[in-house]
Amino acid sequence: MKNKAITSRDVDFAKWYTDVVKAAHLASYTNVKGCIAIEPNGYAIWEKMQAILDKKFKELGHVNVQMPLLIPENLMKKESELVEGFAPEVAWVTMGGSKELEERLCIRPTSETMFSDYYATHVKSYKDLPLLYNQWCNVLRWEKETRPFLRSREFLWQEGHTIHATKEEAEEETRRMMDVYKWFHHEILAIPSITGLKTDKEKFSGAEYTLTNEALMYNGVSLQAGTSHYFGQKFSSAYGIKFTNKENEEEYAYQTSWGTTTRMIGGLIMVHSDDKGLVLPPKIAPKQVVIIPIGNDERVLELSEKINKELSENNIISYIDKTDKTPGFKFAEAEVNGIPLRIEIGLRNLENNEITFTRRDTSEKINQNININILEYVKNLLETIQKDMYERALKRRNELTFEARNLEEVKKIINTQPGFIKADWCGSLECELKMKEINGIKSRCILEHEKPLTGKCVVCGENAKHLVVWGIQY
């Protein structure tokens, strides 16, 4: 049954999204324009994301650090591409107390500057390398149009910044971290994504090249969900990061950076959720199972406690809803908050020697004998839910992935049903900008290991260099 507080997804997708964010108490608007308050339910998802990614980063040898929030203007100006790329989004501090500052301080939109400044004084020899650093922090970008999680002026993220002695090692790191983001989306978030190379126009300011992880939302709009950048020696030459190599010669170091943000919460909502509210894959759900005792019969409460204890002691995050609310209200609350599995126990269940399990992703109710191995059953059911959610998202993405051989086909697709559009490209900026004239279509990524469809550019008809995925974006 549809939640009355939530607009239908198929009627007004933008309103539906905002309604889910509010109804599930993920975030709320504040009196700071363009900035949101992330509420406990939303922050719990981010904490789970942090925990899983942080563990993976550390398994790969990374350590966490913290760099300053404020960046002196003179340091920002050392890498001209970075300054130009972020200039429209930068917020500046000009006063300290009641005194005007001698030099403006930028509130970090990203931290390449401070990491490079740090490396310049701490890297001396190849023996110091590599340094594999990651930072969990907030950043500020003066966005014109904002939407909770998807695009806000202040947001939370992680930014990895690594420095290496060789080009090969730095490039290996760049690709390795993109593989981590792809793994996280596929295995944990149950979101099928594609990875590839950004065009020069769309790459990160100051990067030699950028790899991107792109996901497709339910409505066919794409979402950039993690990027990894190879800087080569651009920043090290700008900031004077030199080291003595094994041949006792001085050279500039090689750098990378990579990051992903609370935008992933928006992706979770727009890929999986429905008109009842939030739907979460079990692997990322802060609460995986809710047990709802119906009535106050002692036998019902005892069984609820027993099941909760067994699940909790075996790494399944479960809880009993003991609030003084009606069963129907508890069911609806569990649905809107996206709890993957609901266990219902009442006197009627006991009389019939059964327990009712309700899947959040499909709303399917399953009655099972009371004597089954609850732990094994719940484990298997959660795994099935995770797998099924991924398969449904993959099916949807594939249904909304199209091929175009000329501009007329591109226009027809984008005006009928947006999605990923595979089309050949000659590599020219002129043709890339021509595509953007069609409803703001942008190149999402170059598919590095796939051959062109026809060998002719979708725009100009000249020989194509790449097969590109195009689409409109958040």
pLDDT of 425 > 70? The answer is yes
Buried residues in 458-472 as b, exposed as e (16+ CB within 10 A): bbeeeebebbbbbbb
Where in the chain are the domains? 13-272, 289-388, 401-471
Would you place residue 391 in the very low, low, confident or very high pLDDT band (cuts 50, 70, 90)? very high
pLDDT, mean of residues 429-441? 96
- Torsions phi, psi of 118, nearest 5? -65, -45
Which CATH number is associated with domain 289-388?
3.40.50.800
Residue 84, pLDDT score: 81
The arrangement of secondary structure in 13-272, i.e. its CATH architecture, is 2-Layer Sandwich (3.30)
Residue 1, pLDDT score: 67
Tokens of 57: 């980063």
Q: pLDDT per residue over 284-341, tens digit each?
A: 999 999 999 998 899 999 999 999 999 999 999 999 999 999 999 999 999 999 999 9
DSSP 396-445: HHHHTEEE-SSHHHHHHHHHH---EEEEEE-S-HHHHHHHHTTTT-EEEE
Q: Is 106 helix (H, G, I), strand (E, B) or coil?
A: strand
DSSP run (H or E) holding 471:
strand 466-471
Q: pLDDT per residue over 437-460, tens digit each?
A: 999 999 999 999 898 999 999 999
Q: pLDDT per residue over 138-159, tens digit each?
A: 999 998 889 999 999 999 999 9
Question: Angle at the Cα of 347 (from 343 to 349), degrees rounded to 5?
Answer: 50
Q: pLDDT per residue over 98-109, tens digit each?
A: 999 999 999 999
pLDDT, mean of residues 280-287? 98
Q: Is 459 helix (H, G, I), strand (E, B) or coil?
A: coil
Q: How far apart are CA 376 and CA 103, in angstroms?
A: 63
pLDDT, mean of residues 464-469? 97
pLDDT, mean of residues 33-50? 97
Mean pLDDT of the chain: 96
Residue 98 neighbours by CB distance under 10 Å: 5
Considering the entire predicted model, what is its pTM?
0.95
Residue 439, pLDDT score: 93
Q: How far apart are CA 415 and CA 395, in angstroms?
A: 21
Taking each helix axis from N to C end, the angle separating 167-183 and 40-59, rounded to the nearest 10 degrees, works out to 140
CA separation (Å) from 460 to 47, 420, 453? 47, 20, 15
Q: pLDDT per residue over 220-251, tens digit each?
A: 999 999 999 999 999 999 999 999 999 999 99
pLDDT, mean of residues 378-393? 98
pLDDT, mean of residues 411-440? 96
CATH class of 401-471: alpha beta
pLDDT, mean of residues 357-378? 96
DSSP run (H or E) holding 83:
helix 80-86
Q: pLDDT per residue over 334-345, tens digit each?
A: 999 999 999 999
pLDDT, mean of residues 7-35? 96
Whole-number percent of the chain with pLDDT over 90: 93
Q: pLDDT per residue over 85-125, tens digit each?
A: 788 889 999 999 999 999 999 999 999 999 999 999 999 99
CA separation (Å) from 37 to 21, 26, 49, 148, 171? 11, 9, 18, 9, 37
CA separation (Å) from 91 to 94, 113, 381? 10, 15, 48
pLDDT of 77 > 90? The answer is no
- Torsions phi, psi of 95, nearest 5? -125, 140
Residue 87, pLDDT score: 82
